[in-house]
Amino acid sequence: MSRGLGLALPGLPQLLRGKIMEGGFCLFLWVSSLLVLVFRYERIVEAPGGSLDDQIAMATLILATVGVWLWSFKEWKRVASEPASAQFVAIGTIERGWAAYRTNRLAVLSLYVVVVLYLAMLLAPFLVSSGPAGPDWEGMSDLSLHLLPPSLAHPFGTDNYQKDVLSKILYGARISLSLGLLAVGISVTLGAFLGAVAGYWGGRTDTVIMRVVDMVMAFPRLVLLIAIVALFEPDFFVVVLALAITQWPYTTRLVRGEILSLREREYAEAARALGFSDWRILFRHLLPNAMGPLIVVATLGVGNTIILEAGLSFLGLGVSVGTPSWGVLVDEGRTYVLEQWWVSTFPGLAIVLAVLAFNLVGDGLRDAYDPRQAGRSSS
């Protein structure tokens, strides 16, 4: 009987097998999706003909719902076919790393938090309040909404623009979270490429690249950031690029070191003897072996980048065009922080939550990929 229920209610199969966290997460996603569907039915129905944001949000909702159900279904099928015995799975490095990661409850929880944050970001149009306090409200503002303390209608209160703080945080997430991901994406790609090239060929190439790295790293990062942003109109991409430009040298150093040791491995030698080209050996054979540490720095970098952007915004140098990011929200509430604490505090907590989640995921990944570190951090 419970098996039949398992199909109807995602998360139940996992819960029945004692996977509390996985099941709870599944259930949470499922219930939240349903709630969104029920409460925002009208908006969702109009979404296909609506703005791009709405369409993306709807696609996310569908994908999330189907994904959760499939995840649960897989578990359910496994219960059905193999009741007791643990399955033997052929595992590679990625799978082994994941298996080690799963044993770290805090890291798994953080991963769930990250997933929820990004889902909330994509689903934002369906989640924000639709009244005069909502960010999409086109009409006159309602002065009775001025700086209201947290209540049921406005869980995080309203700000000095008579807007719902929670809604602004959800929209701000689009800037802060995507900016973090983008900046890290660019810097890791660029940094890994240059580091790999420098480490593999050495000699003059190495010298040139590493001296540039030294030069960039010789500046305090914040000062360099401020200088770059101040030179241009601080719109989204300028800030992203500025963050990426000040970030890549760290990745370059790391990857260079990894490649330096990897290129002396026997399998690199064997690949050379088999006639593979240097580029192929470097990017197809060696770089995948450096993936573990690379993923770790990337994840830790996202948290770091979100903080830096918030710092820049707080100084008035962040993304100043369009939707305010979390840092801007904190800055906006600065004047009221003693009386109307909620205006600054909740965006600040959002930053803390996101950065903490990313850092814990990064720590978990590092432990998973480097077992020598795991013992140290837990003791």
DSSP output for 258-277: HHHHHTTSHHHHHHHHTT--
- Residue 82 or 278: which CB sits closer to other proteins? 278
368 binds other proteins (CB under 8 A): no
- Does residue 285 sit in helix, strand or coil? helix
Least CB distance to other proteins at residue 268 (A): 9
Residues binding other proteins: what is the number (CB under 8 A)?
23
- Residue 91 or 223: which CB sits closer to other proteins? 91
93 binds other proteins (CB under 8 A): yes
Task: Pick the closest to residue 289 from 320, 264, 324, 317 (CA basis).
Answer: 264
Q: Residue 11: left if φ>0, alpha if ψ -120 to 50, beta else—which one?
A: left
Least CB distance to other proteins at residue 86 (A): 17
**Gap between the Cα atoms of 222 and 238, Å rounded:** 15
**Residues between 230 and 269 that touch other proteins (CB under 8 A):** 265-267, 269
270 binds other proteins (CB under 8 A): yes
- CB within 8 A of 317, min separation 6: which ones? 225, 226, 229, 230, 234
Taking CB under 8 A as the criterion, the residue among 91, 153, 215, 356 binding other proteins is 91
Least CB distance to other proteins at residue 94 (A): 8
Least CB distance to other proteins at residue 272 (A): 6
- Residue 160 or 277: which CB sits closer to other proteins? 277
What's the token pair of residue 265? Answer: 């491995």
DSSP output for 297-312: HHHHHHHHHHHHHHHH
DSSP 257: H
Taking CB under 8 A as the criterion, the residue among 140, 218, 273, 338 binding other proteins is 273
Least CB distance to other proteins at residue 258 (A): 13
Q: Residue numbers of the site for other proteins (CB under 8 A)? A: 90-94, 265-267, 269-278, 284-285, 288-289, 291
